[in-house]
Structure 1
Amino acid sequence: MAEDAFTEHRPLLFTLAYEMLGSATDAEDVLQESYLRWRVVDQATVEHPRAYLVRTVTRQALNHLRAVRARREEYVGAWLPEPIRTAPEVSDDAILAESVSMALLLVLETLNPTERAVFVLHDVFGYPHGEIAASIGKSEVGVRQIAHRARRHVHARRRRFQPDSDDTRQIVRRFLHAAATGELQALMDVLAPEVVQISDGGGKVVAAHRPITGRADVARFVLRVSRDPAVLSHVEHATYNGMPAARFLAGGALDWLLAFEIHHGRITGLYGVRNPDKLHGAEALCPLDRGGPQPWKP
């Protein structure tokens, strides 16, 4: 029965852990730790299983996030969230789609662990300040101040984008065609002037170590990469992190992933993940659930 409750709420718990950590691998570790704790609980004392599990995952994710921060500061090259494959229906929930996007997860990475937890729990999942305070061991007044500070920080840095749709996929097709044919002007036409390209190789494969900004520089970078016929010979369209994406295969295996941030019909962000450690779990579809707030009373 304990397993049934955990299984029922697993998509919600994974979504929460992933948004707090930006890593599907770390989120799974947190869920495993939380499940082991859940198994030894006296179920008769738990009035609201979902609330209890959310609180447990929140605390475990906070502990995990504090532990991995130093590791991320030593990361070789640009760091990107571990991509997750999402169903197109995720785009129907605008808040959920944005909350798992590469753009917002990168902004959340600039918050401290407590700020990140409060922002995710309140602004994404809709939990009241008082319930969050009880979960993270802060006063309600303190949580309100943290929430205000985190929200102001995020809103000042967040980038708007269009979730995956027929329109955005058409723009991706135009981009890939221009890259494959070497048409510089056609490529420039689909890129926004302020476009940013970020590559994550983790020091394990060849990738740009720093973000590339501006339409001209990004276009030249894309065409340089695309000179190798093998790069664009096996491409699949998919949805990752609620965004349109292209999967590049080599020998039938995923070699790298490119997610597209699109706004007002132009590509404003390109997120290329090549680190093999971040791609090994990128094949499976990740069920996500933001749900609605319920009483936390454990």
Structure 2
Amino acid sequence: MAMASAPRAPRLLPLSMASLRRAYSAPVPPFPPQHIKDLPRQFRKESDKVPKFDTTERRAKAARKGAARVKPRDSSGAPSTRGKPSDKNRKHEMVNPHRRHGPMYVPQVAQAFFRNGKLQTTPDVWEFLQDTGIEYDNSKSNNLPLAPEHKHIAQTFACRIKYSKFHILHPYHLIFLQPRGHPAMEGLKVRYRIKLKEQPLWIHFTAANGDTGLIRSIGQRRLLREFWLALEELGGRGPETMVSGTLILTMFDAKKAASAPAWQFGQALAAAVVKQYKWDNSEHWNLRARKELKSEPLKQGRKP
């Protein structure tokens, strides 16, 4: 006798509505959050609440910490300057006068024998520099202050003007001060010794662009001619009042300098050099007069 097979139908699970309610109403098990802020608000505890600080209180607290850690610098000796970078640099020079010099300019071909700004050369070169008093460090020259009516000269001629009361080697001649010696150094020594006797004021030109030598030489000759004429008119070139020192002129655009009126450059530069030279010598002679006054013996009738 054959048995009838059961009908194929989906088997229903014996679940009631009560069991489904219990399953969906069960609490969610806790899980470790990455941060308290990542948790939803309904799962945060009282101890996990993120504290809220007032921004003004937080700023005041940071200001108190900074005031206790950093002491204000005493700059009462310098005038208060705001806004212009040049005024800030002038204030820095007044507060720190020993740091007003710029970095030393060394051509790329001569940087191999300079270590930490110190020259590595032969004993003969050191002896020559000490005997003549010539400086190799061109950072001892400062920016030459021009008169207020001549402030446009540096921009008109695209140049930077520096002056020093010392005699300084030309920056392009630093290549001859090699530690192994250079064959042209002996001739350079003779040339500088003659220059010391015959020319108290030295003028060095350097270029900061790729202009040709012809353009640079034409502009330099025009500027030098007008400068020497203006200096002679002001009395800075003569047997009694001869200005001495070194002028270093850096030309950024030789074409612009050659096309501008050279007489303006000559008059402005001559007036600034004479003024700076008199200022430097006035300080020197005042100190010398004080020393002589102290060393002078007391005369009769003069109270100590």
Q: TM-score, normalised by structure 1?
A: 0.22
User: Which gives a bigger RCO, structure 1 or 2 (Cα 8 Å, sep 6+)?
Assistant: 1
Structure-2-length-normalised TM-score = 0.22
Larger Rg: 1 or 2? 2
Q: Which has the higher helix share?
A: 1
